Amino acid sequence: MWKKQLFSPGPTPVPERVLLAMAQPLIHHRDPAYEGIFQEVREGLKYVFQTEQDVLVLASSGTGAMEAAVVNTLSSGDGVLVVRGGKFGERWGEICEAYGLRVVPLDVTWGEAVDPMLVERTLEADPSIRAVLVQACETSTGVLHPVKELAEVVRGREGTILVVDAISALGAVDLPMDRWGIDVMVAGSQKALMLPPGLAFVALSEKAWGFVGRSNLPRYYFDLSQERSSQQKNQSHFTPAISLVVGLRESLRMIREEGLQQVFRRHELLARATREAVVAMGLELLAPEAPSPSLTAIKVPQGVDGAGLKRSLEEEFGLVVAGGQGPLKGKIIRIAHMGYFQPADVLQVIAALEVQLKRMGYPIELGKGVRAAQEVFAS
Amino acid sequence: MWKKQLFSPGPTPVPERVLLAMAQPLIHHRDPAYEGIFQEVREGLKYVFQTEQDVLVLASSGTGAMEAAVVNTLSSGDGVLVVRGGKFGERWGEICEAYGLRVVPLDVTWGEAVDPMLVERTLEADPSIRAVLVQACETSTGVLHPVKELAEVVRGREGTILVVDAISALGAVDLPMDRWGIDVMVAGSQKALMLPPGLAFVALSEKAWGFVGRSNLPRYYFDLSQERSSQQKNQSHFTPAISLVVGLRESLRMIREEGLQQVFRRHELLARATREAVVAMGLELLAPEAPSPSLTAIKVPQGVDGAGLKRSLEEEFGLVVAGGQGPLKGKIIRIAHMGYFQPADVLQVIAALEVQLKRMGYPIELGKGVRAAQEVFAS
């Protein structure tokens, strides 16, 4: 009955022109027409990754590209520093452990960003650490980690690379890979790139490609050297997810048309409006100090049932937000504003949230949060 | 300009109703609506796999599921018998070698099927062999390997499993997994399942699940035990390729509506008409003894440029056939008739092939091949 509107931090809404591009009859991946599309996609990805390196396209979810980042650059027994400040930080650790790496965890309170000084001290105490693995945006908390500062810490160390999961950050947050010196950057299709899930991306710096030559972990489907030599010829080593790549051309065109810096400004604006609204409603942000422009995590106030709040927003208004994961289950709701989002979307979700909170007994003056968001857009 | 018609053995044509299903606005993979779709998909896959086991859905190309089959059931140093009668047989070997298995190759002339007696003798000579890996249909040659007979050879051996790549066979060829005793069966979306590439499937017998418990190879993204426990709850361990799963529900409905046995009869009819036409044209089949109903590989006659023939069919008629791979490059063309194909498609491609062969100097009586195909359909 309702028009379902996705406010989940992946999948995110897919623009109509992308959906229609993907609904065209399939073309063959060895057809020159496809190779032309893939060439344009490769250029567009370099633009969004802000890199001169090849951005490799994989047919997998983002986790596949995280695994590819690990198994292509490291060797069994290597020490790795894993920033664990949420579910996806934990995932880095799980992948590394599955491949027999020695995980040095740096645990960060969920909702806080990592302190680059702590990373620096850990690297100084244990110079054998070969990689620092972190999220740009930790999707489970909405925290933006200080990637630029982490890159400064790692850059001078010959034997260490910085591996950044930018799955829910790329295309929402300014992450100039080459300029900052990020060594490995991973992304996925279903976030700010405005596509369905099923594609993942990974780019490596020259330094990281040097690590690939010395890595001894087993890999086949996620062998990035093979992929690179195929993709430099605008092909794929294995059958690509053709329809998603065709859709990606369209969403990358949209990003180019808007301009990457304007895309970032739009995300920052939407995020700020959301945060101001939340504060005006008397609610608490989970990550007030380091909020991501991709999504906003809001603490569910005492006395309100978090799962019920999420469910009722969908049932009463058709708006699909996300709840919390792991220790935050039932304690937060997460509202995404990455990708195909505009100010009216924020006004809508804030207004509906006010109604549901009031219905659930939370003392709120209807319209107060909406007004705070309106003021951000009016200024 | 031309309506491009795919006759390639993957990707294959995607039905309009599947394309339109995938063009619907995206739904969230934790939404009960999606879980209902996924439940229907899981049931439909069991129907097509002819199994009571879970058919696990992965976001990857078919090769990802091949890798999953290996890394979940075997251990480093294990001996494996690999039937190498084409490019995809070689791929089994490459995957096994990448993970440190001891590959015992059984090389078969490209274009011929493996002799089950040779497999039996090899297993008797080396009882340490833990798995026999084979294709049901070897896509690079159009050969159908004798899976039923291979299953009879392997079934009685406690310590050995039969692992079948059915990527270009499932849904085109009768492969009753449970009845025959196939231990691991792998499939992909872009063949007879009539979808774009990007999904892969794998099902394991009880015996194979026993192997999983003893396997020590590293895995994370392709960890089938984790996938099974998630998918039994109609979820996925990682973000699924939502739009492709929604399309899969539609294509599985089409297969159910036609009925699996009728689907097999249709494929057999299309394949027989293609073969009769080829012979009537005076051409040679690459695999006359063991042809697959999925595709027909035709030797390019002496004096005709194989690459030029493939190219001209596309340029002059808009028909996209495949050439040969590896040692067969330029020597064969492959015409697929798996998935969304009907008799008129065969008539069209045969008629166009006749025209191009005549143009390229091959002595042919126009219409002779077409007539042979017509007679198959008329009878």
Instruction: Say yes or no for a CB contact (<8 Å) between B218 and A13.
Output: no
Mind listing the pLDDT tens digit for each residue in A65-124?
999 999 999 999 999 999 999 999 999 999 999 999 999 999 999 999 999 999 999 999
Residue closest to A272 by CA, chosen among A296, A289, A297: A296
Residue found by looking up tokens 């990802």 in the block: B64
* Residue B27: CB atoms within 10 Å: 18
**pLDDT score at A273:** 98
What Cα–Cα distance (Å) separates residue B105 from each residue in A232, B149, B283?
32, 19, 32
Strand partners, B185: B164, B203
Cβ contact A195:A245 at 8 Å: no
Provide the pairing of β-strand A79-84 with A102-107: parallel
Name every residue whose Cβ is closer than 8 Å to that of residue B169 and which is 6 or more positions away in sequence: B135, B136, B137, B144, B175, B187, B191, B192, B292, B294
Instruction: Say yes or no for a CB contact (<8 Å) between A31 and B188.
Output: no
Residues 313-342 of A with CB under 8 A from B: 314, 320
- To the nearest whole Å, the CA of B282 is away from the closest chain A CA by 29
Name every residue whose Cβ is closer than 8 Å to that of residue A124 and which is 6 or more positions away in sequence: none
- Which among A31, A220, A240 has CB closest to B98? A220
Phi, psi angle pair for B145, to nearest 5°: -80, 155
- To the nearest whole Å, the CA of B26 is away from the closest chain A CA by 7
For residue A55, give the amino acid letter: V
Instruction: Say yes or no for a CB contact (<8 Å) between B239 and A11.
Output: yes
Q: Give A-chain residues touching B99 at CB under 8 angstroms.
A: 218, 220
- Which among A26, A63, A221 has CB closest to B64? A221
List chain B residues with pLDDT less than 70.
Answer: none
* C-alpha to C-alpha distance for B87 and A364, rounded to whole angstroms: 66
* C-alpha to C-alpha distance for B365 and B363, rounded to whole angstroms: 7
Give CA B12 to chain center in angstroms. 11
B interface mutation test: which of A243, A319, A345 has the most B CBs within 10 A? A243
Is the confidence at residue A1, as pLDDT, over 80? Answer: no
Instruction: Say yes or no for a CB contact (<8 Å) between B320 and A94.
Output: no
What is the three-state SS of chain A?
Answer: CCCCEECCCCCCCCCHHHHHHHCCCCCCCCCHHHHHHHHHHHHHHHHHHCCCCCEEEECCCHHHHHHHHHHHHCCCCCEEEEEECCHHHHHHHHHHHHCCCEEEEEECCCCCCCCHHHHHHHHHHCCCEEEEEEECEECCCCEECCHHHHHHHHHCCCCCEEEEECCCCECCECCCHHHHCCCEEEEECCCCCCCCCCCEEEEECHHHHHHHHHCCCCCCCCCHHHHHHHHCCCCCCCCCCHHHHHHHHHHHHHHHHHCHHHHHHHHHHHHHHHHHHHHHCCCEECCCCCECCCEEEEECCCCCCHHHHHHHHHHHHCEECECCCHHHCCCEEEEECCCCCCHHHHHHHHHHHHHHHHHCCCCCCCCHHHHHHHHHHHC
B interface mutation test: which of A239, A251, A310, A311 has the most B CBs within 10 A? A239
Mind listing the pLDDT tens digit for each residue in A254-289?
999 999 999 999 999 999 999 999 999 999 999 999
Cβ contact A242:A37 at 8 Å: no
Element at B262 (helix H, strand E): helix B260-280
Torsion of CA B27, B30, B35, B37, to 10 degrees: 20
- Name the 3-class secondary structure at B143: strand
A241 in B contact zone (CB under 8 Å): yes
Token pair recorded at residue B288: 């006359």
Cβ contact A355:A281 at 8 Å: no
A29 in B contact zone (CB under 8 Å): yes
Give the predicted TM-score (pTM) of the model.
Answer: 0.97
For residue B226, give the amino acid letter: Q
- To the nearest whole Å, the CA of B15 is away from the closest chain A CA by 9
Instruction: Say yes or no for a CB contact (<8 Å) between B22 and A240.
Output: no
Torsion of CA B4, B9, B13, B14, to 10 degrees: -150
- To the nearest whole Å, the CA of A144 is away from the closest chain B CA by 21
Phi, psi angle pair for B375, to nearest 5°: -65, -35
Residue found by looking up tokens 């991306």 in the block: A201
Q: Is A202 exposed, middle or buried (0-12, 13-18, 19+ CB in 10 A)?
A: buried
Instruction: Say yes or no for a CB contact (<8 Å) between A23 and B22.
Output: yes
Is the confidence at residue A308, as pLDDT, over 80? Answer: yes
* C-alpha to C-alpha distance for B152 and B168, rounded to whole angstroms: 22
Instruction: Say yes or no for a CB contact (<8 Å) between B61 and A63.
Output: no
Residue closest to A68 by CA, chosen among A172, A200, A193, A198: A200
- Which among A10, A67, A242 has CB closest to B239? A10
Domains of chain A, start order: 5-10+259-378 (3.90.1150.10), 16-257 (3.40.640.10)
Mind listing the pLDDT tens digit for each residue in B91-115?
999 999 999 999 999 999 999 999 9
- To the nearest whole Å, the CA of B19 is away from the closest chain A CA by 5
Cβ contact A291:A135 at 8 Å: no
Task: Kindly state the percentage of chain A with pLDDT values over 70.
Answer: 100
Angle at which helices B242-258 and B32-49 cross, to 10°:
50
Token pair recorded at residue B167: 């990527």
Q: Give A-chain residues touching B24 at CB under 8 angstroms.
A: 19
Strand partners, A162: A132
* C-alpha to C-alpha distance for B51 and B208, rounded to whole angstroms: 14
Phi, psi angle pair for A188, to nearest 5°: -135, 165
- To the nearest whole Å, the CA of A314 is away from the closest chain B CA by 10
- Which among B20, B27, B220 has CB closest to A23? B20
Mind listing the pLDDT tens digit for each residue in A330-378?
999 999 999 999 999 999 999 999 999 999 999 999 999 999 999 999 9
**pLDDT score at A182:** 98
**pLDDT score at B1:** 77
- To the nearest whole Å, the CA of A5 is away from the closest chain B CA by 9
Instruction: Say yes or no for a CB contact (<8 Å) between B243 and A196.
Output: yes
* C-alpha to C-alpha distance for A372 and A212, rounded to whole angstroms: 50
Instruction: Say yes or no for a CB contact (<8 Å) between B196 and A239.
Output: no
A168 in B contact zone (CB under 8 Å): no
Name every residue whose Cβ is closer than 8 Å to that of residue A16 and which is 6 or more positions away in sequence: none
- To the nearest whole Å, the CA of B156 is away from the closest chain A CA by 31
Residue closest to A267 by CA, chosen among A190, A172, A370: A172
B15 in A contact zone (CB under 8 Å): no
Provide the pairing of β-strand A129-135 with A319-320: unpaired
**pLDDT score at B366:** 98
